[in-house]
Structure 1
Amino acid sequence: MPQKRGKDASTDGAPAPKRRSTRNATQKPQYKEDSGSDSPVPKPKTKKLSNAKPAKTTKAVELSGPEQSSLSPISISIEHESIKNPVDCELYQTSASPESGAPQTMVFTHGAGGGLSAPAVFNFCTGYSALHDILAFKGSINMNSRVKGFHACGDHLQKKSGSTSEWPSVFGGRSMGSRAAVIAATEIAASSDKKGHYDITLVLVSYPLIGPKNDMRDQILLDLPERIRVLFIIGEKDSMCALDQLGEVRGKMKAKSWLVVVKGADHGMHVKPAKAEKVLGEMTGNIAAKWVDRQTLGEDRDQKEIQIWWDDDGDGDGVKLGGWEGVAQ
Structure 2
Amino acid sequence: MSDAHTAVILTHGAGGDMNFSQLVSLAHQLASHGFLCLRFTCKGLNLAHRLKAYTAVWDYLKSLQRFTVKRVFFGGRSMGCRAAAALARRLSEESEAAVEGVICLSFPLHPPGQMHAHRQRSEDLRVLPAHTRVLFVSGTEDDMCDRVHFDTTVKEMKAQVEILWLRGGSHGLKVKGRSEVSVMEEVNLKVISWIRNQAAQAP
TM-score (norm 1): 0.53
TM superposition shift of 1:183 = 0.4
TM superposition shift of 1:163 = 6.8
TM superposition shift of 1:169 = 2.3
**Could you say if the C-alpha distance between residues 273 and 121 of structure 1 is closer, same or farther in structure 2, counting changes exceeding 3 Å?**
same
**Could you say if the C-alpha distance between residues 247 and 103 of structure 1 is closer, same or farther in structure 2, counting changes exceeding 3 Å?**
farther
Q: Is residue 47–residue 83 contact of structure 2 (8 Å, CA) maintained in 1? A: yes
Correspondence 1:242 to 2:142: no
SS, match of residue 170 in structure 1: strand
Correspondence 1:170 to 2:70: no
Identify which of 191, 194, 200 aligns with 1:288. Answer: 191
The within-5 A match list for 1:53-132 is 102-131=4-33, 132=35
Aligned amino acid, residue 204 of structure 1:
C
The within-5 A match list for 1:287-326 is 287-294=190-197
Take 1:282 and 1:128, find their aligned partners in 2: how far apart are those partners?
Answer: 12
Take 1:244 and 1:206, find their aligned partners in 2: how far apart are those partners?
Answer: 15
Q: Percent identity?
A: 29
Take 2:139 and 2:150, find their aligned partners in 1: how far apart are those partners?
Answer: 12
TM superposition shift of 1:295 = 7.3
The equivalent of 1:322 in structure 2 is: none
**Whose relative contact order is higher, 1 or 2, with alpha carbons under 8 Å and at least 6 apart?**
1
SS, match of residue 269 in structure 1: coil
Number of matched residues? 194
Take 1:123 and 1:243, find their aligned partners in 2: how far apart are those partners?
Answer: 27
CA RMSD of aligned residues (A): 2.6
Take 2:106 and 2:24, find their aligned partners in 1: how far apart are those partners?
Answer: 14
TM superposition shift of 1:261 = 1.0
Take 2:29 and 2:175, find their aligned partners in 1: how far apart are those partners?
Answer: 17
TM superposition shift of 1:296 = 10
TM superposition shift of 1:224 = 0.9
Q: Is residue 130–residue 286 contact of structure 1 (8 Å, CA) maintained in 2? A: no
Take 1:295 and 1:254, find their aligned partners in 2: how far apart are those partners?
Answer: 17
Which stretches in structure 1 are left out of the alignment for 5+ residues? 1-96, 300-329
The within-5 A match list for 1:1-329 is 102-131=4-33, 132-139=35-42, 140-162=44-66, 167-191=70-94, 194=95, 196-212=96-112, 213-214=114-115, 215-216=117-118, 217-273=121-177, 276-294=179-197
Q: Is residue 228–residue 256 contact of structure 1 (8 Å, CA) maintained in 2? A: yes
TM superposition shift of 1:177 = 0.3
Take 2:185 and 2:36, find their aligned partners in 1: how far apart are those partners?
Answer: 14
TM superposition shift of 1:267 = 0.2
TM-score (norm 2): 0.83
Q: Is residue 82–residue 107 contact of structure 2 (8 Å, CA) maintained in 1? A: yes
TM superposition shift of 1:292 = 0.8
Take 2:134 and 2:9, find their aligned partners in 1: how far apart are those partners?
Answer: 14
TM superposition shift of 1:162 = 4.8
Cα deviation code 1:55-76 (max 9, x no counterpart): xxxxxxxxxxxxxxxxxxxxxx
Q: Is residue 112–residue 177 contact of structure 1 (8 Å, CA) maintained in 2? A: yes
Take 1:125 and 1:197, find their aligned partners in 2: how far apart are those partners?
Answer: 24
Which stretches in structure 2 are left out of the alignment for 5+ residues? none
SS, match of residue 148 in structure 2: helix
Q: Is residue 218–residue 249 contact of structure 1 (8 Å, CA) maintained in 2? A: yes
Cα deviation code 1:247-282 (max 9, x no counterpart): 2211110111000111121001112335x2122113
